[in-house]
Amino acid sequence: MSAAGATGAAGAAGGIDPDRGGASASHRPLGILAALPQELGDLIEAMRAESSLRTITHGQRDYHLGTVHGAPCVVTLARVGKVAAAATVSALIHAFDVEAVVFTGVAGGVGSEVRIGDIVVANALLQHDLDASPLFPRFEVPLLGVSRFAADAALADQLAAACERFVAEAGAASAARFGTREPRVHRGMIISGDQFIASALGVEALRAALPDALAVEMEGAAIAQVCHEYGVPCAVVRTISDTADDHAPESFASFLAEIAGAYSNAILARFLAARSAG
């Protein structure tokens, strides 16, 4: 059975019709998720205004089905951490038969060139807290033989293009509004772990172990692993809210409340409009 057939069958078995959001079998929806409500911005409200929004509760999560910026989508919260993210994206694949998955949210900056307000689009994702050595190499997922999970190149390119358009069209105004520097878009590795990195020693340890890491968060690599195992394209975009050091808790809270939603709205609007037009 093909991957599409397998996920469609799983959705039917679970009693959830993935086409209830209005997508035809030939135009499956895109799954969009974030860990926290602020990271989705006004996406659900925009979906409600544009289409007949339908909400299905599954596994103690609300999945919102409809069309937003012209694209059929299923939008939900993954909640925080790798297990929660893996459970949520598994439901998107099996119960809602999504065509691809996009994760949006904030992250701590790890790369020396990454600053607060910058945007990172993942080329690859890795679990920095996974270590089954000496049985398996550090960072490698046991029995998969993989440590770095590649984001889907085409989807990541589309997401990066939307970020670049946002920066070109509204970056200066956003920076002035929020008192940050004009954002820059980076492409590279995002690392994930079930820890909120909030110390200079912690971030230095990550840089030493993974010198090409640009950002650290708590969900993306788990989502990438599940998508890898089921052959579903995925992409991850993160806005840098803090520098993962001793000031991270205060910086994260402020950025999340004031800036995260605005950046997410702007990027996703451009990404989804281009996807719909294409």
Residue 198 has pLDDT above 50, yes or no: yes
Q: What secondary structure letter does DSSP report for 217?
A: E
Over residues 76-101, the pLDDT tens digits come to: 999 999 999 999 999 999 999 999 99
Helices (H), 76-149: 82-94
Q: How many helices (H) and strands (E) does the chain have?
A: 10, 10
Query: What is the H or E stretch that residue 116 is in?
Result: none
pLDDT tier, 190 (very low <50, low <70, confident <90, very high otherwise): very high
* Cα gap 173→82, rounded to integer Å: 34
pLDDT at 49: 92
Peptide bond into 134 cis (omega under 30): yes
Asked if residues 260 and 105 have their Cβ atoms less than 8 Å apart, the reply is yes
Report the pLDDT averaged over residues 248-274: 83
pLDDT at 244: 61
Domains in the chain, start-ordered, CATH in brackets? 3-277 (3.40.50.1580)
Token pair 């993974």 is at which residue? 210
| Gyration radius from the chain CA atoms | 18
pLDDT at 242: 77
pTM: 0.86
Instruction: Provide the annotated active-site residues.
Output: 39, 242
pLDDT tier, 31 (very low <50, low <70, confident <90, very high otherwise): very high
Residue 264 has pLDDT above 60, yes or no: yes
Asked if residues 168 and 272 have their Cβ atoms less than 8 Å apart, the reply is no
Token pair 């895109």 is at which residue? 30
Over residues 152-182, the pLDDT tens digits come to: 999 999 999 999 999 999 888 887 877 777 8
pLDDT at 79: 94
